[in-house]
Structure 1
Amino acid sequence: IAIVAFHSNILPIQLFFTVQGSLTRVPYPPLVEAMLLELIFELLREAGLRLPSRVGQTIGIVGGLVIGDAIVKAGFVSYTMIIVVALTAISSFLIPSNEMSSAIRILRFPLMICASIFGFIGIAFGLTILFIHLCKLESFGKPYLSPLAPLKFKGFKDAFLRFPIWTIRGKHGEKKHN
């Protein structure tokens, strides 16, 4: 959305003309296009979850193909936006945690609005607000982003890579106090 609406000059010239050619037939701004496709994708995802597994997967795939082709031929969305939303949908399945996946699915919509209003600056602003919010959260009395915020170098030994249990506990098995 940000590239199409604000920053199209970062695209190579041939890609720019291809993207602009696919957008000329669409009567909506990029935000409406993306929101429509995201809504359709979420409906297909929810429908697939409520059906038996084999039927749900088939409905999701066939529904996505049929609806995607029909909506582009009708001129409601461009092929470019179909590709972007499809890549976004596929990458959302890579998130291992269901709770994190749900949070990212919800945060996608406000960030799309930020991108449509201010471009890359809007995305940076939206992510900054999100980061500030995460810095203020606490879980069981501990900061949510600890040891990154507030910065504690002692906590980094288990932040990104889990060290053996003996580095956390003392020689006799008692827990070290940080």
Structure 2
Amino acid sequence: MRTAIVYEGTHGSSAAVARIIAAEAAVHGPVIVGEVHEIPLTELEGVEFLVVGGPTHRWEDWADVTRTPTSAHVLRDYHLTPDGVRNWLDHLPPRPSFCAATFDTREPGLRVLTGTAALALYRALRRRGCHLVTRPASFLVKPGQVSELMDGERDRVSAWAVQVFRRAEHHHPVHIG
């Protein structure tokens, strides 16, 4: 199964999650992995499974925070590019043949307080006809050290990836509101 893993990065935690998922993907077939600006939509030719992820930052929409005229410092400080994952998905044509999954990285806390980028990504992919094989996943970063995953999260990402690829191989979509 050919897989593409696309993420938007801030401090490196989304990249770390993507690399762990890519290790599992490699067991199942060819994989391309990279930040959203590194993977043009044309590279999705032949992809059967798409994983999309990015950061959550206290309910702030990274697309709005980082794409304003005064955002140069945000782009530099958070290692973001002007075209983020939301813009990338806006240009993704309908893909009814894709299986997909989404993840985010966020600080610990109640989801209602922290927000979840993975749910927004899930909904965007579903609107494009993708078959989501699991619920959106959030992986936790150390408070105040958002570049580092919390203890135990790497193992949780690995377990999630195994489950996600098992579901994708058998094409079991999951539907949530």
TM-score normalized by the length of structure 2: 0.29
Greater strand fraction, Structure 1 or Structure 2: 2
TM-score normalized by the length of structure 1: 0.29
Considering Cα pairs closer than 8 Å and 6+ residues apart, tell me whether 1 or 2 has the greater RCO.
2
Greater helix fraction, Structure 1 or Structure 2: 1
Larger Rg: 1
